[in-house]
Amino acid sequence: MSPRTNTAAVPSTWQLGDLTVNRVGFGAMRLTGTAPFGNGVPRDREQSIGVLRRAVELGVNHIDTAAFYFSATSSANELINRALAPYPDDLVITTKVWPGRGPSGEWWWATPAQLRGQVEENLRQLGRDYLDVVNLRVPPSRRTGSIGEHLGVLAELREAGLIRHLGISNVTSEQLAEALAITPVVCVQNPYGIGASNEDRALLRLCGELGIAFVPFFAIAGSGREADPVARDSEAVDAVARAHGVSPAQVRLAWTLHQGPHVLAIPGTGDLGHLAQNVAAGALRLTDEEMTRLTSLRSADA
């Protein structure tokens, strides 16, 4: 008897508030450089524009970006504007605030009073009258503290019509509870992938119970996270990839999407071939045995 494949009722879309998005989206970080947050060697502008246009042609209607994704010669928001405006009616652009970067690339973190300026900067760069979704990206140093003051400002901007929906990023379950007491939250964007901790898995399940989208970043990178996608995949990931005739990155994306119908993917790339593979991973179905094997991996193995 052949292994049973997880094919039952696997939805291809999810709701971000009143916005319907395909579960495989696109992360714009790598469009402006190869290093994390676009600090590396700038990519060819026309190539990046071509990747964005091809992503939409392949059915991507959820793009994740930020004003602080920029290199010496380009910014992700500007590239999105150049490639896709006037925007398709169904395109959802998600951005994030709280972190910022100065003209020379130096990092800073916004005070609550500075958040409006960050929102307006995204509006200008994207050429939008309002932002579809804004994530409050919590600094690592604040993951045990309150996010209420910052989120309250964004809630006011949502009421003013500058933001349509709010999300939170890099948070704990406790911070999610605090956020929900302040304003509706349509998504949680946290690091997640094969080898995730029990705490991370619990937060993913909680989001599913609450009907909130869970949007992993570093889903392909695994334990490497900011350092770059893992240079050497575990034998378990490699074996599953060989069995399906796909890349290890596609296996990692498929495993992530199998975690629940509320889980979205936002893999980023500046390469047309990798883009096609990432989108195709949404249709990859793993067997129960493969899922069990991959889920049993921990970060040291992943």
Does the structure show a pLDDT above 70 at 91?
yes
pLDDT at 216: 97
> Coil, helix or strand for 150?
helix
Helices (H), 90-134: 115-126
pLDDT at 221: 67
Q: Which two tokens stand for residue 173?
A: 């379950």
The answer to whether 258 and 6 are in contact (CB under 8 A) is yes
Quote the CA–CA distance of 219 and 258 in Å, as a whole number.
12
Does the structure show a pLDDT above 80 at 254?
yes
Quote the CA–CA distance of 103 and 260 in Å, as a whole number.
40
Quote the CA–CA distance of 216 and 257 in Å, as a whole number.
10
Pick the residue with more confidence: 8 or 223?
Answer: 223
Does the structure show a pLDDT above 50 at 226?
no
17: left (phi over 0), alpha (psi -120 to 50) or beta: left
* Share of residues in the chain with pLDDT > 90 (%): 81
For domain 14-232+261-269, which architecture applies? Alpha-Beta Barrel (3.20)
pLDDT at 219: 84
Mean pLDDT of 126-153: 96
Q: Strand pairing of 131-137 and 92-97? A: parallel
| Cβ neighbours for 248, distance < 8 A, ≥ 6 positions apart | 233, 237, 238, 241
Mean pLDDT of 206-224: 86
> Coil, helix or strand for 296?
coil
Does the structure show a pLDDT above 50 at 224?
no
Q: Which sequence spans correspond to the domains of the chain?
A: 14-232+261-269
Mean pLDDT of 6-24: 82
List the 92-97 sheet strands across, edge first: 26-27, 62-64, 92-97, 131-137, 163-169, 187-191, 213-217
The answer to whether residue 69 is catalytic is yes
pTM equals: 0.92
Beta-bridge partner residues of 24: 265
Pick the residue with more confidence: 224 or 60?
Answer: 60
Does the structure show a pLDDT above 90 at 8?
no
Q: Among 6-15, 104-113, 189-198, 235-244, whose mean pLDDT is lowest?
A: 6-15
Arithmetic mean of pLDDT over the chain: 90
Phi, psi of 172 (to 5 degrees): -105, 170
